[in-house]
Amino acid sequence: MGYDKLIFDISQEGRKGYTLPHSEFSRKSLDDVYLRDDCPGLPEVSELDVVRHFTNVSFKNFGIEKGFYPLGSCTMKYNPKINQDIANMPGFSQIHPYQPLDTVQGILKIYDETQRMLSEISGLHTYSLNPYAGAHGELVGLMIIKAYHESRNDFNRTKIIVPDAAHGTNPASATVCGFQSVEVKSNRDGSVSVEDLKSVLGDDIAGIMLTNPNTLGMFEKDILEIAKLVHEAGGLLYYDGANLNPILGKVRPGDMGFDIMHINLHKTFSTPHGGGGPGSGPVGVTKALAPFLPQPVIRKVNDTYTIDDHVIDSLGQISHFYGNIGVAIKAYAYILSNGKEHLPEIAAFSVLNANYIKESLKDLYLLPVEGVCKHEFVFDGLKDKSTGVTTLDVAKRLLDYDVHPPTIYFPLLYKESLMIEPVETESKQTIDQFIAIMRTIAQEAKDTPELVKNAPYNTVVKRLDEALAARKPIVKYKDLE
Ligand SMILES: *Cc1c(COP(=O)(O)O)cnc(C)c1O
């Protein structure tokens, strides 16, 4: 039926999918300078053509609405639609960033309360909701670390410590901020090697970036000692809070000794992510660092919400206006609808689900670190290495079973890393189904390895030649012909 065609290919001259209402106003022509010389070249199609086109395009994609998404290190969970509806309410969606503050007291109240709820959840004193994303928050945090040292006339601290298992954005943000990143080795369980840490600490260290539980989903048991050592050396501790699921209502980075952190509202707090945003990466700091936070920080003064803009040390604005307010509204609605009583259940179920999968598959997949994990864990590929079936093959084969592939070949600690984070929103039935599929694939790898090595078969495109795709990307439809 030609559903693979572009919408431009089904265009028929003169076909329309709209009618404009009769105008009561007389026509007025624009000056010639504002008129185009030729038509914009838009497809001319009916409403039904448009509906079919976008519906068919959506079938080609994979999303959380379509199937299970066990993507480690990235918290891809279901986000309740009601929070989106709330953010879309006209009172929120139609306010203007230049409106006088006395006409937007409602949204300022939401900002103030969201800042304070994130403080309570994380144990850090003050938040700014200004940054747009996790990596953006990291950059802000590092700028604060820099500003802090410089405010004390300490200009020697040019290095940031980043463990080798860290998310790639950590060393990247350090570089963008003008720091040199210094790698510390992880122990085999992904925890920071305290001995290695001691060997790099000195008066050139500005701080350390950590996530806890770490990338292998293991809780950093030496965190208090690490915090003490870094502080004694004059450095600050940055917490990468992109995925806060595993610790919600259980432990707080502020209590572990962290000075600065960001939180990805678009991972933990009810905004979908992937596909380019919008996101939000609020940054929280200790009381001592609060003056450096980017604006606007909202405050309640005598029953009126206002922007706390009298802070001379502030980094200023880091994004437009208030940041992505729709994302903040969704987080606010999500936190309040769960309430203090139920937030800890998010942590409990995400940890339970991860451990259940890990224990149910470790006879067939190689588990490098035994013991209770938090929200995620890593296999080092299939246990039976004689089949030649790799982690890449397993990930591709999962697509045939309508499961999104997990994160693979990260962290770099193992050769065949396959990282699974099931999250708390999946039912036991879905998780059992996933376990059954993983077991089937392990059996296929044994019986018919070629079947797995050539997967996927049921997707729109088959296995890509990744080297060719990177070297000679075809980015225009016309180039396919
Ligand atoms: C996703 C993620 C980031 C980056 O967040 P973005 O919003 O994509 O910039 C940083 N650290 C960790 C651990 C993450 O999972």
pLDDT digit string (tens) for 345-357?
Answer: 999 999 999 999 9
Residue with CA closest to ligand 1 atom 7 = 134
Confidence at residue 92, expressed as pLDDT on a 0 to 100 scale: 95
Closest ligand 1 atom to Cα of 281: 7
Which residue's alpha carbon is nearest to atom 12 within ligand 1? Answer: 242
Q: Reply yes or no on whether the pLDDT at 405 is more than 80.
A: yes
Ligand 1 midpoint to CA 133 (Å): 8
Mean local confidence (pLDDT), 312-336:
92
What are the pocket residues of ligand 1 if the criterion is a CB atom closer than 6 Å to any ligand atom?
73-74, 133-135, 167, 169, 211, 240, 242-243, 264, 279, 281
Mean pLDDT in residue range 45-50 = 95
- Report the length, in residues, of the chain: 481
Task: State mean pLDDT over 417-431.
Answer: 97
- Which ranges constitute the DSSP H helices of 99-187? 105-122, 134-151, 169-176
Name the DSSP class of 71. Answer: B
* Residue 16, burial from CB neighbour count under 10 angstroms (0-12, 13-18, 19+): exposed
Instruction: Please tell me the least confidently modeled range out of 116-130, 308-322, 354-368, 402-416.
Output: 308-322
Distance 142 CA to ligand 1 centre (A): 15
Across the range 434-459, mean pLDDT stands at 97
Q: 82-338 has which CATH code?
A: 3.40.640.10
Per-residue pLDDT for 1 more than 70? no
Counting ligand 1 atoms within 8 A of each CB, the residue from 167, 243, 376, 407 with the most, and so the one to mutate, is 167
Residue bearing the CA closest to ligand 1, atom 8: 134
Phi then psi for residue 162, to 5 deg, are -135, 125
Q: In which residue are the tokens 């379509």 written?
A: 66
Q: Kindly list the domain boundaries of the chain, sorted by start residue.
A: 1-60, 82-338, 342-471
Q: What pTM was estimated for this model as a whole? A: 0.91
| Cα 444 to the center of its chain, rounded Å | 33
Note the pLDDT of residue 276. Answer: 65
Q: How far apart are CA 421 and CA 352, in angstroms?
A: 11
Task: Give the mean model confidence (pLDDT) for residues 445-455.
Answer: 98
pLDDT in tens, 121-165: 999 999 999 999 999 999 999 999 999 999 999 999 999 999 988
How many angstroms separate the alpha carbon of residue 311 from the centre of ligand 1?
29
Task: Write down the pLDDT at residue 310.
Answer: 65
248 alpha carbon to ligand 1 midpoint, in Å? 17
Mean per-residue pLDDT, 54-68: 88
Q: Say what the pLDDT of residue 243 is.
A: 95
Alpha carbon nearest to ligand 1 atom 6, residue:
134
Q: Which atom of ligand 1 is nearest to the CA of 138?
A: 10
Mutate which of 240, 247, 350 for ligand 1? The one with the most ligand atoms within 8 Å of its CB, which is 240
The per-residue pLDDT for 275 is: 67
Q: Please tell me the distance between residue 135's alpha carbon and the centre of ligand 1 in angstroms.
A: 6
To which residue do tokens 């996101």 refer?
Answer: 279
**Three-state helix/strand/coil letters over 345-395:** HHHHHHHHHHHHHHHHHCCCECCCCCCCCCCCEEEECECCHHHCCCHHHHH
CATH fold of the domain at 342-471: Aspartate Aminotransferase, domain 1 (3.90.1150)
Q: Give yes or no on whether 82-338 and 342-471 have one common fold.
A: no
Of all protein residues, the one whose alpha carbon is nearest to atom 2 of ligand 1 is: 242
**pLDDT over threshold 80, residue 11:** yes
Helix, coil or strand: residue 80: coil
- Band (pLDDT 50/70/90 cuts) for residue 107 is very high
Cα-to-centroid distance, 215 and ligand 1 (Å): 12
The mean of the pLDDT values for the chain is 93
**Mean pLDDT, residues 369-374 taken together:** 94
24 pLDDT more than 90: no
Q: What digits encode the pLDDT tens for the residues 254-287? A: 999 999 999 999 999 999 887 666 899 999 999 9
Q: What's the gap in Å between 171 CA and the centre of ligand 1?
A: 12
Find the 273 Cα to ligand 1 centroid distance in Å: 11
Q: How far is the CA of 187 from the centre of ligand 1 (A)?
A: 23
Which atom of ligand 1 has the smallest separation from the CA of 73? 15
- Position 481 scores a pLDDT of 58
Name the nearest CA neighbour of 277 among 326, 226, 320: 326
Of 45-49, 171-175, 420-424, 461-465, the poorest mean pLDDT is in: 461-465
Instruction: Using the Cα atoms of residue 343, residue 348, residue 354 and residue 360 in order, give the sign of their dihedral.
Output: negative
pLDDT attached to residue 209: 98
Name the residue of 76, 142, 169, 211 whose CB sits within 8 Å of the most ligand 1 atoms, as the mutation to test its pocket.
169
The two beta strands, 236-241 and 260-263, are: parallel
Could you read off the pLDDT of 207-253 as tens digits, one per residue?
999 999 998 999 999 999 999 999 999 999 999 999 999 999 999 99
Ligand 1 centroid to residue 400 C-alpha, Å = 28
